[in-house]
Amino acid sequence: MAAPGIPPIRLGLIGTGLAVEKLHWPALRGLADRYTVTAFTDPSDEQCRRFTGYSGVDPALATAGRAALLARDDVDAVLVSVPIPHLYEVARDALAAGKDVFCEKPAGVDAQQAAAFLALAAGHPDRTFVVGENHFYRDDLRYARALLDDGAIGRLHLMAWRHAVRSVPRPGNFTATPWRHRPQYRGGVHLDAGVHHIAQIRLLCGDIAWVHGAVQTANSTIDAPSDLTLNLVFAGGAIGNYTASYAEIPVPPEPNEMRLYGTEGVLVLAGSEAERRVTRSSSDATTHTTVFRGIDNGYRAELVDFADAVQFGARPTGSVAQSVANAMVVQRAFDSAERAAVLALGRVPGAGPVPLWRPRGSTGLFDGLPGQRISSSASFAA
């Protein structure tokens, strides 16, 4: 919640596609004390009409192009939600126009542009510039991170995660987006969707020191590798394996669980968007499960963090540097696959371990956030 007497941020939307409809608008709708939309633009008139239809935003706020939107005095900040190949140029123009920027991920189409994102942020120290990464803000992941920080499973020594789903074009789904079928960004789906998984891995397991990757192409609907398997060595000494498959054929139901093995217990992260579960198993064969329902998967919290940075000067968790660190894991994974070699992962300036986000002014993890949390205990002893 904003402090009394502080006006909401006047927000311009550059792009009103699926990400705004499915992810950002539901969060913005509940943050009227923090944001008011004063302008929006999209190359598609149909998208603009669709946006005003479901949002209730005045159609008169539609602006003919981003240059006109960025020239408006009633826009303090912009939410950039355009195809990946155009994110950099739009963010660059917005910063040059003196706007604060919340930009969709990833930070760069390749390693060279990731470096350009870092330089862009460094060149505008007076502006708030973040790249959205909702996994840094998800309630279940922050809860799991707090358990790890408290030593709930002892020393982490192994991470194992396999994520396998069918990925074919479906109307109304992100997979139907034409620019995703023939991606003009290195890594394809593993850069687009996979950076979320890398963010989760980094949040829970720490920085990555070494990568060894291999890829396969087995999905004719996307012009990029569909499969990635990645062996990891973490800076803290743990090791791990991450395998992601975006298959063309139907995939039998799989748990898609992330498992973290410690010297005194195991954490299992599972479930769907509707119900996420964190289960901690202890050395005495007892389990403690917390179920998260009705959470918005971090979209509200990341916008709250952005608003806190703009209005109060707070340091945002989802910095450009942290987003670049996520993207560079994918880039080095593809380097490793091409060279058939184990590669070191260089340090990203300004990144480092991902900080654990908490609502501003709170010592709790969930203060002021939506959702229900239910805990239970059991035993798996023979």
- The residue among 84, 65, 46 whose CA lies nearest residue 192 is 84
Q: Which fold has domain 9-135+300-318?
A: Rossmann fold (3.40.50)
138-296+371-379: in CATH 3.30.360.10? yes
Predicted local confidence at residue 1, as pLDDT: 57
Indicate whether this model's pTM tops 0.85: yes
* Residue 370: other Cβ atoms inside 10 A: 13
Mean of the per-residue pLDDT values of the chain = 96
pLDDT at 382 over 70: no
The ranges assigned to domains in the chain are 9-135+300-318, 138-296+371-379
Q: Give the up-direction half-sphere exposure of residue 231: CA atoms within 13 A in the CB hemisphere.
A: 8
3-state class percentages of the chain: helix first, strand second, coil last, to nearest 5:
35, 25, 40
Separation between Cα atoms, residue 11 and residue 31, nearest integer Å: 12
Q: Are 71 and 39 in contact (CB under 8 A)?
A: no
Flag whether pLDDT at 381 surpasses 90: no
Q: Which of 9, 72, 18 is nearest to 40 (CA)?
A: 72
Q: State residue 221's pLDDT score.
A: 96
DSSP-derived secondary structure letter, 43:
S
What is the model's pLDDT at position 3? 65
What is the structure's pLDDT at 2? 63
Average pLDDT over residues 88-101: 98
For the cut 80, the answer to whether the pLDDT of residue 40 exceeds it is yes
Asked whether the beta carbons of 136 and 199 are under 8 A apart, the reply is: yes
Among 291, 296, 247, smallest CA distance to 269 is for 291
Alpha-carbon torsion 249, 250, 253, 258, what sign?
A: positive
Counting residues of the chain whose pLDDT is more than 90, the rounded percentage is 94
Percent over 70 (pLDDT), the chain: 99
CA pseudo-torsion sign 295, 296, 298, 300: negative
**Per-residue pLDDT reduced to its tens digit, 196-228:** 999 999 999 999 999 999 999 999 999 999 999
Is the confidence at residue 363, as pLDDT, over 90? no
What CA–CA distance (Å, rounded) separates 370 from 300? Answer: 9
Question: What is the length of the chain?
Answer: 382
Predicted confidence (pLDDT) per residue in 256-269, tens digit? 999 999 999 999 99
Predicted local distance difference test score (pLDDT) of residue 254: 84
CA gap 194, 327 in Å, rounded: 9
